[in-house]
Structure 1
Amino acid sequence: MEPTKGDQEANVQSDMDGSSSSSAKVETRPGLSTEKLHDIGAWHWDDDPNNPYNWNTRRKALQVLMIASAAFTTSVGLSILSPAHSEFMEEFGVSSTVAILPLSLYVLALGLGPVVGGPLSETVGRYPVYIGTISLGTLFTLGAGLSPTFAGLCVLRFLAGFCYAPSLSIAAGTINETFRPVNRAIPSTIFILTPFLGPGLGPVIGSFVVNRKGWRWTQWTIIFFAIFTLLTIAIARETFHPVIKRRRAKELGENLPASPPLSAKVRLFVTIALLRPIHMLLTEPIVTFICLYVACEFATLFSFFAAIPLIFHGVYGFGIEDSGLVFLSIVVGCLLGAVTVLLCDILLYRRQIPKHAGRQVPPEYRLYPALVGSVGLPIGLFWFAWTARRDISWASPTVAIMVFAWGNLCVFVSTAQYLVDTYHGLTVASAMSANGLARYGLAAAFPLFTIQMYTRLGTGWASSLLGFIAIALLPVPWIFFKAGKKLRGLSKYETAEQHS
């Protein structure tokens, strides 16, 4: 019997995806005989020392250090340039809005880079993508620091972000391939936290560097972080199971099955990375509203890169370094958010596991952090809006930013886990790709009009406008928590089982 189109797609993906089975069985492909399957599966993959699940704790810790370092380098490179806004205007003679472009283009590139980097890592392996993209990103960062023109700076910043971006998208696959599900909580939290710490620490580092050395030193600083990341990559290993299995089969003299044809890989790439994410974004209510919610709150966070220096200089007379220190409130908020997510997992989600023995815990139980975080978002924004005044201490709006950052991380992590648990098979990657495109696309646009918005509306009403958006979207996780099972039943894609 000829394999169906869906079977062929699944078979091709089995050779390309990162969710490899821990068993010795090798993925089935069209045209592969039973004898070849037995040949290549002759050794016990579960007990093989090359299986990342069997690595010792030190080796696994090095993998976590590598992905955390790569994520931090990528995210700190995003915001470290934000304090250089005035220098760009002065050195290159550009307007206030145009001076934001090096930041916005980098953010936009973070949304586009994974479209190529993700599928590539599932073809050649994770390791070549890490070392190749970080190296290229570092070269483009070097070029940005040496650029004599503003146009060249913008182009090189975009290319640097595009190259660094895959390190964020494939890290989750690296964790899944290195740690068994029961041991993933701590490494996953470390990875998720580092991309949020970067945007908070970037302006702090950048404010001191720009004030004392000039904006070009922000790029040299990124390179220092990137060099450390490359050193961690040098001592890391490949984790993508299909690649490791093929290497082991070759070492053991086993018969290797034919690789899927290039046309099948290209078709799969176009479907999963390009067409399906857009289709899900437009037709799947779960994907649409979660992406809208996360994108708006991410965009609000990124608007602070332009708003905080403007407000704290204009209202409190802060200098560039003092304004940069305000961003530490984002770091503190993210740390508190990470603690909240872990507590919800331990105290609420894990208690559901015995009740659903042998079945998947309903994805809706992943939404507990989002439920509390959704309330924190508007509270933080309205608090910030009406306390950033001369007659009220600067500490009050600073704490308000902390509350917003806490809610933002809770919502992001919780909804991301919800998407991963809701969609099965090949649709998980597409759903997360849609999330990334929406999140970074909107986040790239917001800073471009933030200064005008705060200048014309004032701090109170400009921040309140963002607060009203947070209130309008607040019901999203609550609705999914109550009606998620019914919405999953209406989906056109493969989702969690209905009896869950």
Structure 2
Amino acid sequence: MGQLEEASDADVHGTLEAQISSPDDTSEKSRGVNADKPNPGDTWDWDSDPSNPYNWSLEQKTQQVMVIGWAAFTTSVGVSILSPAHSAFMEEFGVSSTVAILPLSLYVFALALGPVAGGPLSETVGRYPVYLGCMVFGTLFTLGVGFAPTFSGLCILRFLAGLCYAPTLSIAAGTLNETFQPVHRALPSAIFILTPFLGPGLGPVIGSFVVNRKGWRWTQWTQVFMAIFTLIQIALSRETFHPVIKRRRAKELGIKLPPSPPISSQIRLFVTISLLRPLHMLIVEPIVGFICLYIACEFATLFSFFAAVPLIFSGVYNFDPESSGLVFLAIVVGCLLGTVTVLICNIFLYLPKVAKHPGSQVPPEHRLYPALIGSIGLPIGLFWFAWTARADISWASPVVAIMVFAWGNLCVFVSTTQYITDVYQGLTVASAMSANGLARYGLGAAFPLFTIPMYTKLGIGWASSVLGFIAVALLPVPWVFFKMGKRLRAMSKYETVEI
């Protein structure tokens, strides 16, 4: 992601600047209703052009935030909204407990693969067609899941639904960057980052009530209703990808654009940026490799809760399906607290560093403050959950433990993502983030498949402790990068910041 934007943006913008230049200083206001269509004789300035998303009204920008927020929520709620249907699948289709987890795991696995093609495609045809196409086809496959007569058909359609929905998560960051200047990006970025975490937390809550009262197929109708609302929001939105907008402006001005790169070059670039380089960075780049491992393990732990929580709270505390679903509100509360923590660290720890170094970039290691705090919360939450989920201890204790884990998980994810973005430059950032997505969703798809057997054989205490020991083993990752990040950046085989 980002590769076609840099090339296209430079070509189109440079061509327009070169060909549309004259001493005519006629203002856009003086052109009245034609302000959006500058005359070829006028000086054209992209920075002040009304079609530039940076110059849109607050209402238009808010609309774009609603689009990416609802799209991310619709996609992420689909991960877990079917998790309360585990027993229903076993009864209706006659499958084992482990096999009944497949619809969840296949959807998550599809989220790892979808952005591979969706990201580059959005930088060829624009963001708007990708949002629209992905949401339409994802909704059709979700509709198919609701009508699926066989378990194998259900699994295939769930995978295809996740594959189509997935790009809406990967291109949202680009939409934000193209709509808001960096100084105004903090709040909309926080909203976007929060929505994909709220989806998995609220999915089981919604799903438990729907499955218990209407049947599991209604979980899919519920997601379809959300998708229809998202489609309405998309229909009211506009294209944000700058090169596409500039090409349209060039056509309005009658300017001949440079020829597009050959298809072979675009395919080669796609294979390099989206496939080969992410895998290479996972192996040879310590920063990318260890952060991806850390994020992947904690995301996988989060997804394992979708199988473990109903098992534990129904078996230990005799919760009914709806009450077990309500337990997942702890994840929502933890994510909200994590968002507040990230914003507080940004205001009181990171921005003062920026103020002390005006005009220069702050070392990326200062992005890690939330991760340093959150890394401690992760094992605390998991061990707390492990040894208090007992009949002689109130159910409230393990619920609060889940909240602590979710808080730490969001802090670590947001902080390390910002760190990677600041460390690498140019096209390398896209590859690093692609590696991150492949790792976290790939491992996240695998963990739920062995969660129930692990808890059944090891017991609640030791099974949860295994996850806690993993969190302890990976706890030093952000601390080591905070201390040795500059030295590791200097050793990198890729382009990194030098400060």
Match of 2:131 in 1: 130
Match of 2:6 in 1: 14
How far does the alpha carbon of each residue in 1:258-310 deviate from its partner, in whole angstroms, 9 at most, with x for none?
11111111111000000000000011000000000000000000000000000
Give the counterpart letter for 1:149 in structure 2.
Answer: T
Match of 1:164 in 2: 165
How far 1:11 sits from its partner (Å)? 8.4
Q: Report the number of matched residues.
A: 481
Alignment of 1:65-464 (within 5 A): 65-464=66-465
CA distance in 2, matches of 1:359, 1:285: 26
How far 1:254 sits from its partner (Å)? 1.8
CA distance in 2, matches of 1:208, 1:479: 44
How far 1:142 sits from its partner (Å)? 0.4
Taking structure 2 as the reference length, the TM-score comes to 0.94
How far 1:15 sits from its partner (Å)? 3.4
CA distance in 2, matches of 1:36, 1:455: 71
Give the counterpart letter for 2:329 in structure 1.
Answer: L
CA distance in 1, matches of 2:155, 2:59: 40
Alignment of 1:475-486 (within 5 A): 475-486=476-487
The verdict on how the C-alpha distance between 1:53 and 1:12 changes in structure 2, with shifts beyond 3 A counting, is: closer
Give the counterpart letter for 2:408 in structure 1.
Answer: G
How far 1:492 sits from its partner (Å)? 0.5
Match of 1:5 in 2: none
The verdict on how the C-alpha distance between 1:337 and 1:127 changes in structure 2, with shifts beyond 3 A counting, is: same
Match of 1:4 in 2: none
How far 1:27 sits from its partner (Å)? 5.3
SS at 2:425's partner residue?
coil
SS at 1:94's partner residue?
coil
How far does the alpha carbon of each residue in 1:92-113 deviate from its partner, in whole angstroms, 9 at most, with x for none?
0101000000000000000100
- The question of whether the paired residues in 1 share the 8 Å contact of 2:338 and 2:408 is answered with yes
Match of 2:494 in 1: 493
CA distance in 1, matches of 2:346, 2:302: 25
CA distance in 1, matches of 2:289, 2:456: 32
- The question of whether the paired residues in 2 share the 8 Å contact of 1:177 and 1:241 is answered with yes
CA distance in 1, matches of 2:365, 2:491: 16
How far does the alpha carbon of each residue in 1:387-437 deviate from its partner, in whole angstroms, 9 at most, with x for none?
000000000000000000000000000000000000000000000000000
CA distance in 2, matches of 1:312, 1:43: 64
The verdict on how the C-alpha distance between 1:388 and 1:349 changes in structure 2, with shifts beyond 3 A counting, is: same
CA RMSD in angstroms comes to 1.8
How far does the alpha carbon of each residue in 1:338-378 deviate from its partner, in whole angstroms, 9 at most, with x for none?
00000001111111112222221111010000000000000
How far does the alpha carbon of each residue in 1:78-125 deviate from its partner, in whole angstroms, 9 at most, with x for none?
100000000000000101000000000000000100000000000000
CA distance in 1, matches of 2:243, 2:18: 19
- The question of whether the paired residues in 2 share the 8 Å contact of 1:371 and 1:478 is answered with yes
- The question of whether the paired residues in 2 share the 8 Å contact of 1:26 and 1:37 is answered with no
Give the counterpart letter for 1:14 in structure 2.
Answer: E
CA distance in 2, matches of 1:370, 1:155: 37
- The question of whether the paired residues in 2 share the 8 Å contact of 1:12 and 1:264 is answered with no
CA distance in 2, matches of 1:107, 1:116: 16
CA distance in 1, matches of 2:112, 2:18: 43
The verdict on how the C-alpha distance between 1:12 and 1:326 changes in structure 2, with shifts beyond 3 A counting, is: closer
Give the counterpart letter for 1:109 in structure 2.
Answer: A
Deviates more, 1:371-380 or 1:248-257: 248-257
CA distance in 2, matches of 1:38, 1:482: 50
Give the counterpart letter for 2:85 in structure 1.
Answer: A
CA distance in 2, matches of 1:11, 1:314: 51
How far 1:316 sits from its partner (Å)? 0.2
The verdict on how the C-alpha distance between 1:104 and 1:38 changes in structure 2, with shifts beyond 3 A counting, is: farther
SS at 1:15's partner residue?
helix
- The question of whether the paired residues in 2 share the 8 Å contact of 1:12 and 1:260 is answered with no
CA distance in 1, matches of 2:43, 2:353: 38
SS at 2:316's partner residue?
helix
Alignment of 1:16-35 (within 5 A): 26=12
- The question of whether the paired residues in 2 share the 8 Å contact of 1:113 and 1:162 is answered with yes
- The question of whether the paired residues in 2 share the 8 Å contact of 1:366 and 1:415 is answered with yes
SS at 2:494's partner residue?
coil
Percent identity reads 75
How far does the alpha carbon of each residue in 1:161-216 deviate from its partner, in whole angstroms, 9 at most, with x for none?
00000000000000000000000000000000000000000000000000001110
Match of 2:469 in 1: 468
The verdict on how the C-alpha distance between 1:35 and 1:196 changes in structure 2, with shifts beyond 3 A counting, is: closer
